[in-house]
Structure 1
Amino acid sequence: MAEVESLDYNSDLGCYVRMEDRTSHEDDCSRYEDISQRDKILAELNSQRHCGDFLDLVVKVQDMEFPCHRAVLASTPYFKVMFSSDFTERSSRVVQLHGINSDGFSTILDFLYTGEISITQDDIHDILQAAHMLQVDKITEYCQTFIEERYDLSNCLSAMRLSDLYGFSDLREQARKDTLSNFYEISQSEEFLTLSGQELLDLLTDKKLHVTDEENLVDAVIRWLDHDPENRRTATVAIFQEIRLMSVRVSTLMKLELHPVIQDSPECLAIVTGAKEKHLAGATSWQVSAGAELDEAKVRQRLGTSDDLAFLVGGWMIREENMCDDDYATLTTPLQSVMCFDPDSEQYYHVSNLPTPVSGYMSVTSVERCLYVTGGRAYPLYVHDPDSTSEPLRQAFRYDFVTNAWTKLPDMPRGRAGHQSVVADGKLFLVGGDTDDTSTFSMDCYDLEEQAWIVPPTLPEIASLDLTVTSCNGKIVLVELFDDTENACSWLEETKLRVHVFDVRAAHWSYSDIPVLYFCCRLQSVCKLVTVAHGNVYILLTPRDSYSPHMFLYHVEQGTLSDCSELEDIELSVSFWGTQYQEQNTIHQENPADAIICYKFDEDSIRSTRETDITHTWDLTFELIGYGFLATSKSSIGWYCRDLYKLEH
């Protein structure tokens, strides 16, 4: 086949077009083809349309009339069926269309006559509506491409709506995913205000909705209500039943109580007031209305939020500008305060100043929305001033987080510093550390109800003083890691993990252990983190030179210690909190902390890879020594009852 190409000016299109003459030879027959003829026909028909020649049909859309050729319209499935059926439109010279607007039809008609279409953000809704009704699939494809090429967070709500209407399944999935993952940012747009009540409810009830602060969601809902309060009052109750008000601060709830839309709805006002009262009463669950229990799913944390909270008590700050100073006494600045860290906002907050000039080595634990701060030293261990004392102190305090009030407790039986503390069965136990009367490992006990120090239980035989202490189900749990010299060999170092448990009510000690093998790994290089979840104790061992943590489970009721990797049906959602130390000591033998660290596990990650993406670290703006650290929960401490000052980074 031979082809000859040339350009010819098309007056209707206003440009030169390519003309191709094709010739083919088959035996004694020659076939000639001018493939530009199709363009000529369309151009001629379009010219006739504009001149009003040879037209046999008028299409009415809204208040506009469109003279055209019946044959051209019949190129679409919609009109072909209309004109080939027994409908009156088959022979009628006037056809009335409903369900689309005139601008959209005009654009479709131009495309049928020219094969070209221009789409803008302003008219895509009209074009899609007309193309969908008239079954012009090619234009629908062009519109989908147009949306996808310009898609971003600023228009994902409209993309999601259009995808719902016209079946763009992949685009809809992506737009909904982005909307749920970036809800707060999207809620600040003007387009968010156009959501219907049902559309907003559909987002709020989705389990994949991701927020870092439930109050951001409240702000978005109030903004949405204020945009059209008269027409949106009826949706208020249903919407507020989907907000996790037990994750909203009391100060915000008090503002909500005064909002006109809330006040106009007795049921909604009861929901908000009930949440506020439950917060102040120290409840962890609440009722929607009298006699109606809130569904458990409504008090669970959303994606992006947690119940986790970490406290740092006292200590000494080491700032970089002081690192070249030869005078160790001026290397540090006392941090005579309590601060906390919220992992959701990734923000540090000032909680309270300490009620004592003592700066560090205090232990801290919590129960019933109170912190218990005990012992400590007035100076860092490296200070050797004959006029000062670094002896362990006997001081003890209770701090009510909700009321921001300190209470001094009776002095401890002995001075203690660098120890650990837990509360179990209404008693405060102080374990280990340095004491002022003996160098042996010891324990003290304070009865919270009697407000007096009592005789502590006798400690079991401890193989290592490197203990981690926690409590679970009214029992004290001591976790130790030590070398098992009896079973060690020249090429393998065997470490044993042992858990001691003291049943406070039964006054009975028991223990369970399990061998832990580490090839070429020194015991001192293993980081041990302990947490309580699901009524049991979980232990995470992480070699500092490796990214392969290993988890163990101590089943409190059964008294058994197991390797989690051997459990097939375990369902987990466990977080381990601690502080991250510098690799090298900065001041004598103390390891300054420079970050808070958290290992997070769920059902999948615990049985799969132990990659570093499950580890989260949040840097401090300074290094810290001699501090007390406590990982607790927002619900148990009364986190939402107070507004705290953010600390600048």
Structure 2
Amino acid sequence: MPKRCRSASPTDYGVYPSRASLSAGFVRGMYELQKTGSFCDVVLKGSEESSVGIPCHRSVLTVHSEYFRAAFSQDWKESTQQVYRLRNIDSQTLNELVEFVYTLDIRLNGDNVERILIAAQFLQMVAVVRMSWDYVEKHLHLSNCLLVHALASNYHNPNVCDAALSFIRRYFLEFVEGHDFLQMDTQQLMQVIGSDVLDVASEDLVFQAVMRWWEYDRPGRLAHLHTLLQTVRVPFLSVQCQQDYALALTSTSMAVPQSSAEAVGESPGEETKDTIPRQSYMILCVGGRGKDSQRSVAARVDVFSPSIPAVWRLKKLREEVGNAVVMPDSSSLFMFIAGHVMTVQRNSHYTDLRKEWRRLTSMRIWRYSVAYATLNGGIYAVGGYAQDSASMQPLTSVEVYDPNDDSWSVVASLPARRASLALVACEDRLYAFGGENGARDCRTAFCYDPSTNSWSRLANMPTARSECAACVAPSGLIYVVGDLVEPRHSPGCACVDGKLYVLGGYDANEWNSHSSIEVYDEDADRWALHACRLPQPRYGFGCVVMKMKRD
């Protein structure tokens, strides 16, 4: 009696090829058939008369190309031809596209991506077109961004058009110096310089760029000059550039306006796009102490824009804080907030000024009167007092925060105990100035080199200082500031548009905190009180520069 077939149990398993491995095997098999010419029913040839034929399978070509699907399915003479010549695609490009059809792999580079993209557009190979545009967008460069914009315009790809224009706006200062800038047409230039997010330090640079573009071909471009000048935001030009602007308008045979507001065609006092600054660098004042040591500003963020000029207040913080730093990548708006004046175990960061804060990993040591600075993607916390220290001796320890994995690590300690010191990053180094050693103010200066994880001592400052601030000026010099036009301890300090700004602070003699702002012109070597004031007096606060738009 024959044995019956045993029913399969739910616990019985067999090993079968996966769908992915079957697909890979099929692709590999078809590629081998194509390479050997087996079962091929059409030969493709490129545009050159001497081009070598490429044996293919019609069915495989139609899977990847709408063009071939239409050509081979219609009742045309070409649909039955054994040899099919593509007169607008060269042999090399055709070989690369056929390679993709049979391997699903294509090697794109700067030399071949344009011709492959154009050929894939013609053959309606959607996958190759998508990969080519993706490659182009990811490899934008000053040398190709204008070409990419033209290519995307010709093939009606608005996303890549916008990406190319955004790239030019972001690197506008470098782009203006090149030859491609002079080749821009009027519409392209309008789209770039008319944008609110054009990355320029001052409006003078926009006006100067327009004039350079015009001077390249004065007769041919004179008719467009007036239109381009209207995109310049005249109220934010320097006095000299406003005079040059008036002369440029004269060149266009237009009447010279009597005021900056009229120069952009608006009524005086009316706030329009032309009377609002572009995306610009602004100074954020975060937390700290207020008048008579009150904590009324400890959870407040004020914004000072030197270019408007104006001061306004942002959303209140979730916690009271006493210091802040911002990561160098201003496009991400990553801002780190550390504690309030007496403890820094509360750490938070912002990724967007309209979003909420979140708590980060605490430092290894609770500390206050600590100095912060960013360097090479890390946030350094240097010195300060330990909260539980009975001896009131400053710390020498230094910690660095890594935003990538939300962790703190210890690096080389300061050569001496310091608290209430000034700390600033400059050319891949940290510089620490002054501070107090527990008994008196100090004149010392130290430099930290992360490549060797070591501190070195620099020349002493002429004056002993603590609760001071430091900032790197456009010249590359580091300024350590305290008493200026008004006596200031624990002020904020930042450099914007080539000028040094010192904000707030307090007078140690009268214990009176300030809301005033002072500005230093390095070229004129002159300090002056600024017309703007902070909404409230404050000291011991975080002072950071961020690229923002006024919403």
Bin for the TM-score computed over the shorter chain: 0.3 to 0.5
Determine which structure has the larger strand proportion and give its number. 1
Query: TM-score when scaled to structure 2?
Result: 0.44
Larger Rg: 1
How high is the TM-score relative to the length of structure 1?
A: 0.38
